[in-house]
């Protein structure tokens, strides 16, 4: 029992002396990168705090909600090494209001923390460092290096298709598929499926195929980290329970989703022989207009292909009806299929509403498929949509 107490007291004793000076701009930048992980409404008060640890010439900042954590660091002048915890939201909001320049952070008695900046002097009520949960370290095992741009693109083209229904646990994330010379990501909510692959992406340390399911919340955090870095590569590693993504000096760790991801290959249509090619921007504009008059609950629009025309229409008793026509080469039998307009717009937006998109159909009851019409594209995208009865 005495050993446990000594271990618990050790970090608190270290923290008793902490005193640092840091640039306000640099501190704000790192707090911004971590604050979104912090639990706003939590039954465990310590989770609403940042953990600050000062040693050498670095300040390490950690935030966690027990499912995921972000750890980052900033260059500081350490007068006395140590650690403390500070209410995250209050610290972030306060530091943003201070003028640029140097500020000092000092741990006082009873876990209070003093922040001085110019003529401003504030004391915040912290909590015992010993109560802060253990956050796993980036594994010592060999990590896989992944292109930041490629991973960012994969997430952007799939994250919108992840299910929001918590009961569908295995659909609450995206599946990342890593191979020696390609990487892919796929997400589905049962009504639609988005798949994107980057062929020719050489990944060191990957033999055969590696599949990991990444929770939606972690993908959103990862998207922000990848969007705010100059790094070209992200280091990825995992163990039995956790996934780790190191982007520059910031590390995101998250519990991996367990369970079996659906067999997405079986869902991909293989005999959608009727197709039309249209400009993404033109299709998006037409659907946005027509969707104003769709049933509010379903958002359904009809797509009819006939005689070199794609007609998009909708109607509802509440708002009226609307139709838009796009010219496109089409000589097959006429076909009419209903789709959720929001689902189509999500995919076009992920493509940046650029270039041309191919619409592929089999019949009015079967899944439709969309993909960019560019054989030389760096990324291969496929988007499968279940039809709606309208």
User: Do 213 and 254 share a domain, yes or no?
Assistant: yes
Cα–Cα distances in angstroms (integers) from residue 189 to residues 174, 185, 261, 287, 389, in the given order = 10, 14, 11, 22, 18
Report the CATH number that the domain containing residue 177 is assigned in CATH. 3.10.150.10
- Answer yes or no: do 119 and 150 share one domain: no
In this structure, the answer to whether residues 218 and 292 fall within a common structural domain is: no
Same domain, yes or no: 125 and 179: no
- As a whole number of angstroms, the distance between CA 115 and CA 21 comes to 10
Cβ neighbours of residue 81 under 8 Å, at least 6 residues apart?
A: 14, 17, 18, 54, 55, 56
| Dihedral angle, C-alpha 10, 51, 214, 238, nearest 10 ° | -30
Q: Do 51 and 122 fall into the same domain?
A: yes
Q: Which domain holds residue 155?
A: 144-263
Averages of pLDDT over runs of 10 residues in the chain (390 residues) are 35 63 96 90 90 96 95 96 96 96 96 96 96 92 90 96 77 92 95 95 87 94 94 93 95 91 91 95 97 92 96 94 96 95 96 93 95 91 92
Kindly state whether residues 254 and 195 are assigned to the same domain. Answer: yes
Q: Is residue 344 part of a domain?
A: yes
272 shares a domain with 259: no
Say what the pTM is: 0.89
Question: Could you tell me if 277 and 328 are in contact, meaning their C-beta atoms sit under 8 angstroms apart?
Answer: yes
Q: Do 292 and 211 share a structural domain?
A: no
Predicted pLDDT at 16? 54
């Amino acid at each position: 029992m005495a050993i446990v107490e000594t271990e618990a007291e050790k970090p608190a004793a270290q923290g008793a002396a902490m005193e640092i000076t840091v640039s306000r701009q640099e501190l704000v930048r790192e707090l911004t990168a971590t604050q979104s992980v912090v639990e706003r409404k939590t039954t465990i008060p310590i989770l609403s705090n940042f953990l600050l640890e000062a040693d050498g010439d670095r300040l390490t900042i950690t935030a966690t909600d027990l499912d995921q954590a972000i750890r980052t660091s900033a260059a500081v002048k350490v007068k006395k090494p140590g650690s403390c915890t500070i209410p995250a939201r209050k610290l972030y909001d306060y530091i943003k209001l201070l003028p640029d320049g140097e500020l000092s952070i000092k741990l006082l008695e009873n876990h209070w923390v003093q922040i001085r900046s110019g003529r401003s002097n504030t004391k915040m009520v912290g909590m015992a460092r010993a109560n802060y949960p253990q956050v796993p370290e980036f594994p010592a095992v060999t990590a896989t290096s992944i292109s930041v741009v490629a991973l960012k693109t994969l997430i952007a083209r799939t994250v919108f298709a992840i299910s929001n229904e918590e009961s569908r646990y295995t659909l609450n994330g995206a599946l990342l598929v890593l191979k020696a010379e390609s990487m892919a990501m796929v997400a589905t909510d049962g009504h639609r499926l988005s798949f994107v692959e980057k062929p020719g992406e050489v990944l060191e340390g990957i033999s055969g195929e590696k599949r990991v399911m990444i929770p939606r919340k972690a993908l959103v955090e990862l998207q922000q980290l990848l969007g705010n870095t100059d790094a070209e590569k992200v280091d990825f590693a995992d163990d039995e329970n956790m996934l780790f993504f190191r982007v520059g000096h910031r590390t995101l760790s998250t519990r991996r989703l367990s369970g079996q991801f659906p067999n997405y290959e079986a869902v991909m249509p293989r005999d959608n022989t009727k197709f039309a090619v249209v400009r993404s921007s033109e299709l998006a504009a037409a659907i946005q207009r027509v969707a104003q008059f769709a049933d509010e609950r379903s958002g359904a629009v009809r797509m009819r292909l006939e005689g070199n025309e794609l007609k998009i229409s909708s109607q509802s008793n509440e708002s009226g009806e609307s139709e838009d026509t796009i010219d496109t080469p089409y000589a097959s039998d006429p076909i009419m299929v209903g789709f959720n307009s929001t689902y189509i717009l999500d995919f076009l937006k992920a493509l940046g509403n650029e270039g041309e998109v191919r619409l592929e159909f089999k019949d009015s009851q079967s899944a439709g498929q969309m993909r960019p019409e560019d054989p030389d594209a760096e990324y291969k995208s496929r988007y499968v949509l279940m039809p709606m009865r309208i």
